[in-house]
């Protein structure tokens, strides 16, 4: 585990090492699952001795890793101490061009942050050939899902050039991330049951949404969304209410709808890839739970048809319209 593929001299050799390591990991998991059930592992943070011999890194490398990691939605609620531990625990790995650092359906061993180079992401669904769904360059992070949810890898990630990444092992990742996620899941549990849209999701999907949510607060009159802006976030109202504001035929700003606790907004720009269709203003002191565009697309996929249907009904309703 420590000797992260660096002794390989060519892509084929490196790939063979990665595959061998994954086979060993699968064997370990099989042995472990004979002792503990899978569901037990998925909710219990893995307790390990905190590694004291952190891999050496310069201050600028630490700053760089910190920046990469804080952009990943799963890390948003970590304390500074937890960030430090994540950053300190990561070790540098050279990845040769064409190496599949992650294979779809494989075992989750590491989480990665890209120092330099480039990676493509492929997903093979329903027996179809793999399709490219994304890419990562310097500053990007990937490989968090299998570790977080104790699930098989959801995609294949391949280096498209010689690259350098920072790797965080599964045990450290789960110890730190699950600790913080459990607190957040408790915090959002009651609220998420209150959101009508999410009643269409299974409890596991609701958990994933809790992991991705962040709370943001506004004062009365604050503009949450400006008409015409590019859409970056989706919002669910935790408390308070908002006005949806649009110009009338004479160009005067008019309130066209009011949304309250449990309602959501900011979905149209994200599902239609269009600028914001209206301005959204806090009508009272307001608290919202929000997720970024990428997490929204990933997590709200199962209810996107309901979201589209609700949006279609906006034009027909005269009140809030969101549900």
Residue 89 vs 106, nearer CB to ligand 1OR: 106
Of 195, 216, 232, the closest CA to residue 286 belongs to 216
Residue 192 vs 278, nearer CB to ligand 1OR: 278
Q: How many CA atoms lie within 13 A of 137 on its CB side?
A: 0
Q: Cα–Cα distance between 11 and 14 in angstroms, integer?
A: 5
Stretch that binds ligand 1OR, among 89-97, 163-171, 181-189, 259-267 (CB under 6 A): 259-267
By CB under 6 A, residue 268 contacts ligand 1OR: yes
Residue 128 vs 318, nearer CB to ligand 1OR: 318
Contact code string over 223-252 relative to ligand 1OR, x by CB under 6 A? --x-----x------------x--------
Residues 79-138 touching ligand 1OR, rule: CB under 6 A, are: 102, 108, 121, 123, 133-134
Of 82, 90, 109, the closest CA to residue 24 belongs to 109
By CB under 6 A, residue 146 contacts ligand 1OR: yes
Residue 14 vs 266, nearer CB to ligand 1OR: 266
Residue 54 vs 241, nearer CB to ligand 1OR: 241
Question: What secondary structure does DSSP assign to 256-289, as a single string?
Answer: EEEE-TT-EE--HHHHHT---SSEEEESSSEEEE
Stretch that binds ligand 1OR, among 50-58, 164-172, 200-208, 262-270 (CB under 6 A): 262-270
Residue 278 vs 288, nearer CB to ligand 1OR: 278
Stretch that binds ligand 1OR, among 33-41, 147-155, 181-189, 200-208 (CB under 6 A): 147-155
By CB under 6 A, residue 181 contacts ligand 1OR: no
Helices (H), the chain: 11-35, 38-43, 59-70, 80-89, 145-149, 170-194, 203-212, 268-272, 293-299, 304-314
Those residues whose C-beta lies under 8 Å from the C-beta of residue 147, and which sit 6 or more positions away, are: 108, 110, 111, 170, 173, 174, 177
Residue count at the site for ligand 1OR (CB under 6 A)? Answer: 38
Of 78, 87, 178, 269, the one binding ligand 1OR (CB under 6 A) is 269
Angle at 274 between CA 227 and CA 322, to 5 degrees: 70
CA trace torsion 219, 322, 235, 187 (10° rounding): 90
By CB under 6 A, residue 267 contacts ligand 1OR: yes
Those residues whose C-beta lies under 8 Å from the C-beta of residue 320, and which sit 6 or more positions away, are: 257, 258, 259, 260, 263
Q: Which helix (H) or strand (E) holds 142?
A: strand 141-142
Stretch that binds ligand 1OR, among 51-59, 196-204, 282-290, 315-323 (CB under 6 A): 315-323
Q: Which residues bind ligand 1OR (CB under 6 A)?
A: 102, 108, 121, 123, 133-134, 142-146, 153-155, 157, 225, 231, 244, 256-257, 265-269, 276-278, 280, 294, 297-298, 314-315, 317-318, 321-322
């Amino acid at each position: 585990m420590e000797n992260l593929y660096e002794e390989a001299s060519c892509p084929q050799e490196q790939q063979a090492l990665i595959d061998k390591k994954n086979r060993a990991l699968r064997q370990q998991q099989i042995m472990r699952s004979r002792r503990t059930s899978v569901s037990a592992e998925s909710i219990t943070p893995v307790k390990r001795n905190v590694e004291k011999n952190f891999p050496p890194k310069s201050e600028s490398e630490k700053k760089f890793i910190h920046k990469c990691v804080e952009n990943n939605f799963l890390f948003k609620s970590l304390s500074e101490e937890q960030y430090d531990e994540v950053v300190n625990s990561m070790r540098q790995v050279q990845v040769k061009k064409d190496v599949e650092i992650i294979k779809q359906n494989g075992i989750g061993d590491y989480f990665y942050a890209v120092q330099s180079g480039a990676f493509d992401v492929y997903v093979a669904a329903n027996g179809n050939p793999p399709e490219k769904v994304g890419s990562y360059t310097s500053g990007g992070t990937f490989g968090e899902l299998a570790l977080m949810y104790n699930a098989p890898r959801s995609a294949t990630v391949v280096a498209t050039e010689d690259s350098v990444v920072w790797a965080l092992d599964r045990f450290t990742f789960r110890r730190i991330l699950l600790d913080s996620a459990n607190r957040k899941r408790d915090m959002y549990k009651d609220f998420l049951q209150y959101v009508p849209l999410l009643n269409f999701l299974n409890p596991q999907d609701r958990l994933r949404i809790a992991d991705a949510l962040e709370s943001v607060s506004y004062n009365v009159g604050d503009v949450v969304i400006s008409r015409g802006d590019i859409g970056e976030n989706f919002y669910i109202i935790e408390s308070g209410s908002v006005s949806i504001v649009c110009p009338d035929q004479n160009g005067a700003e008019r309130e066209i709808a009011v949304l309250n606790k449990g309602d959501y907004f900011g979905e149209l720009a994200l599902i239609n890839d269009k600028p914001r269709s209206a301005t959204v203003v806090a009508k009272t002191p307001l608290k919202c739970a929000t997720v970024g565009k990428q997490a929204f697309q990933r997590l709200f996929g199962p209810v996107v048809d309901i979201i589209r249907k609700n949006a279609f009904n906006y034009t027909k309703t005269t009140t809030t319209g969101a549900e």
